[in-house]
């Protein structure tokens, strides 16, 4: 796995997570709870809790990274484990956009991390289901930014 791929995958993971909630969000409080998914993901990431990160995805969730397309929670878990094993550290995110459309939350932003002493950064987007007893991440896409010239 390349350094770029490891960083990109890690960035996306930090950006989304969804707290349990029984109804579709329709208030500012519900919207804030859906946005709290990032906090839950970051907490699991800081513990290098691969199972905790993977559990935030729907069973049929999708991750799109420079390393490929990962379909389903088991494939996503294996991809996340490869990031932990590669030593991705100091991961942070900054959400720059968020929008609730019906029961689906769209988020996008930037991420940063260190890998083998190199600072990396890129961009991410994610779709989260805010419906049901336990909202989950449906899809996540991440990239690694091209080096500045």
| Spans of all domains in the chain | 3-142
Q: How many CA atoms lie within 13 A of 35 on its CB side?
A: 17
Count of CB atoms within 10 A of residue 97's CB? 9
Mean pLDDT of 17-28: 41
**pLDDT at residue 17 tops 70:** no
Among 2-11, 27-36, 76-85, the minimum mean pLDDT is found in: 2-11
The model's pLDDT over 82-116, given as tens digits with 9 standing for 90+, comes to 989 998 888 888 999 988 888 888 999 999 999 88
The model's pLDDT over 35-58, given as tens digits with 9 standing for 90+, comes to 777 778 778 888 889 999 999 999
* pLDDT higher at 62 or 9: 62
Count of CB atoms within 10 A of residue 69's CB? 11
Count of CB atoms within 10 A of residue 21's CB? 17
CATH of domain 3-142: 3.10.450.50
C-beta pairs of 23-26 under 8 Å, 24+ apart in sequence: 23/131, 24/102, 24/103, 24/130, 24/131, 25/100, 25/103, 25/105, 25/130
Q: Which residue, among 33, 42, 41, has the nearest Cα to 130 in the 3D structure?
A: 33
Predicted TM-score of the model (pTM): 0.77
Count of CB atoms within 10 A of residue 87's CB? 12
The percent of residues above 70 in pLDDT, for the chain, comes to 74
C-alpha to C-alpha distance for 34 and 130, rounded to whole angstroms = 6
The kind and range of the H/E element at 54 are: helix 50-54
């Amino acid at each position: 796995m390349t350094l770029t791929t490891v960083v990109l995958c890690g960035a996306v993971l930090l950006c989304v997570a969804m707290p349990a909630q029984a109804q579709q969000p329709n208030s500012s409080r519900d919207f804030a709870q859906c946005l709290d998914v990032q906090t839950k993901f970051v907490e699991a990431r800081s513990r290098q809790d691969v199972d905790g990160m993977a559990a935030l995805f729907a069973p049929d969730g999708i991750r799109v990274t420079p390393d490929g397309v990962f379909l389903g929670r088991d494939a996503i878990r294996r991809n996340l484990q490869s990031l932990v094993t590669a030593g991705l550290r100091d991961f942070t995110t900054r959400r720059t956009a968020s929008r609730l459309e019906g029961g689906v939350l769209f988020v996008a932003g930037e991420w940063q991390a260190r890998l083998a002493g190199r600072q990396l950064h890129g961009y991410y987007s994610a779709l989260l289901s805010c419906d049901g007893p336990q909202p989950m991440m449906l899809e996540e896409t991440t990239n690694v930014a091209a080096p500045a010239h």
